[in-house]
Each structure stands twice: as structure tokens, then as C-alpha cells.
Copies of this chain bind each other. A is one copy, B any other.
Amino acid sequence: MRGVVRVLDERKLDVLRAIVEDYVATHEPVGSKTLVDRHNLGVSPATVRNDMAALEEEGYITQPHTSAGRIPTDAGYRLFVDKLSTVKTLSPAEKKAISSFLVGAVDLDDVVRRTVRLLAQITRQVAIVQYPTLSRSSVRHVEVVTMTPRRLLLVLITSTGRVEQRIVETHDDVDEQLIADLRSRLNTALTGQRLTDAATSLESVTETFAPPNRPLVAAIVTSLLEAFTVEGEQRIAVGGAANLTRYGDDFERNVKPVLEALEEHVILLKLLGEATNPQTLTVRIGHENPYEGLATTSVVATGYGSKSEALATLGIVGPTHMDYPSTMGAVRAVARYVSQILADS
């Protein structure tokens, strides 16, 4: 067990880096000879073999079977991401493509849709974008519309441009005058409030109404409260599932669980994790993921929103053998551009 604490020297790290890069490019186990041929390591295959034996001992690479080349382990990728690579910055052309893709969005939905598409396209992975969190935004406007005499539609517009709707069924026909009254009182009480604080303000609104009207008002208030909290957090957009075809074979084991996970937005939220600011990239590799179906999968995510606090998270899901430097660069760049668009000019 002495070997475990041994410090890996510079060249061994070079070898690991070469292995990761090669494997990512070819998706085939890489042997000592090929490695020396393709990267100019300045040493002989035999030497590389020794280094590889050491790296395997440390758990950074592994052999699919005896007498095959090596492939990186999760730990190998982790070391690569943390120490051996630098996030690639995009070319000016790519940057331009991003911004031209995002301008012209007509509303928040459109921004999110375009972002998903863009992210999927440039990373060639599955893209996931969370809608701006409600809890950090404030009330811009509340609208109450009568659909039928016994059916109301509540519309909540937040400072982030997100629009939430709720249908409320009532037992008795509602009075238009009362609705108008309610609408104005709600807006007076709520406009500008943070959603998290709005709950208390809502209660006091109820009390300003005459007792006979209380049940109706209470129903509406309850519905609004719902809109303020749980449900809203969960909205997510997914795109680029067709990129899963590039996973290679072993469809059943690799692709199926991913497709299943993509249907479960709760799982996706866990995958994306806590929102961070756009400077910080979260990378989860293989088994580090909180969902076992994605053991052959990595997630690259980051927050977006204003500089001071992140509104929500976006990222991609792809095979562990992805091109981390490029992918991370793309995710970060997209997050920054979206933040800009949302902050407006």
C-alpha cells in the first residue's frame, strides 16, 4: 500500500493526459506503442509501459481485459479535469454564433428553448436548462382573469420574465366587481415582493375582505401560494437527445438509463445540482453522479443569472469519455451569454 501515497512524477501525468486525450478521440483502449507514436513523449514504449503499470496501480487507468490497451477510470478523468487540462475558450467565430443564436428571443420560454438547442448543438451532447428559479425572483404583476363564471385563471409574472398560470375552480359564480377588487389589492400587496416573502403578505390580503367572500379569496390565495413554491422550481428543458446515438454500442446499458433519466425532471434537477455562479463549473464524473443509471455518464453544469447570484443551472450530460476542455468551455460560455441576455443591455 506504500505506492498509493507515492507522488506521481511529471511524465506519468503526461502519460495520463495523453491516454485521456487519445481515448476521448478514438474511443478505443490505447496501448503504449500507439501512445508514443501519436504524442511525442520522447521516451520508448517500454518506459511508457512502466508508467502505465504505475498509473494502473494508483487506480487512474484500467485494462478492459488482459493484453488490451488502457482506458481511464473515473478517477483518471477526475485528475485530468482537475489538474491536467485547461478549459478551452471558444473561438471568436463560435462566440459570435452563440450571441447571434440567442438574440431575437421573444420571451423567457424562447430564451430557454434557444439555449437548450444551442448548447446541444455546440457540445454535441444532451443539454439541460433549468428555468430561472422562482424563489430568487420577485412579483412583477398578478392577473386574475375570469374564464367561465366558475373558473378563474391566475397569471403570475415574475421579475425574471417567467409567467406562471393556475386555474382555480369555484363553487359559486364569481362577481366581476369582487375580482377587480381582488386583483388590485393583490397587486398592491405583492408587486415588488420576493416570492419567498410573499406568503405573509398574502395572508393579510385575505383579511381585508368581508367574511362572505373569504372562501373564494382563500382558494385563490392557496393557488397563488402553490405557484410561488414547489411546482415552479421543477421546470426544465431538455434537448439534443439525438446525440445519444454517438454513445457507441451497448445501447441497452448506456443509452436507455439516460433516456429514462431525461424523462424524470426530478432526477435532472439532482444532476444539475446547486446553482453556482457562471465562473464555477461543476463536473461530475461517472459514479460521482447521484443516479446509478448514469455511471458511464458525466455531467458538466454551471449556474447562470446575474454575477452576484445564480438564478438557475444549465449543463450537459454525456459519456464519461467526452472532450472535457471543449465541453466545459462551451457550457461556461453559453451560461455567460444567457446571463447577459437575461440581465439585458
Contacts and interface: CB of A to CB of B under 8 A. Distances in A.
A190 B165 CA distance: 21
Nearest to A249: B251
Contacts of A161: 147, 153, 165, 167
Interface of A: 105-109, 140-141, 143, 145, 147-148, 151, 153, 155, 157, 159, 161, 163, 165-167, 223, 226, 231, 239-242, 244-245, 249, 251-252, 255-256, 259-260, 262-263, 344
Contacts of A105: 167
Contact of A145 (B145, B151, B157, B231): B157
Nearest to A109: B165
A231 B106 contact: yes
A344 B148 contact: yes
Given A153-B157, A163-B163, A245-B255, 15 more contacts: A106-B166, A106-B223, A106-B226, A107-B153, A107-B167, A108-B167, A109-B165, A141-B143, A143-B155, A145-B157, A147-B159, A147-B161, A239-B263, A245-B251, A245-B256
Copies in the complex: 2
Contact of A166 (B107, B167, B242): B107
Given A143-B141, A143-B155, A259 B231 contact: no
Contact of A245 (B109, B167, B252): B252
A258 to B, nearest CB: 9
Contacts of A262: 241-242
Centre residue among A141, A226, A262 by max chain B CB count within 10 A? A141
A141 B259 CA distance: 39
A242 B226 contact: no
A245 B153 CA distance: 40
A109 B165 CA distance: 8
A125 to B, nearest CB: 13
Contacts of A145: 140-141, 157
A108 B4 CA distance: 58
A167 B110 CA distance: 10
Nearest to A223: B106
A147 B163 CA distance: 12
Nearest to A106: B166
A191 to B, nearest CB: 10
A106 B223 CA distance: 9
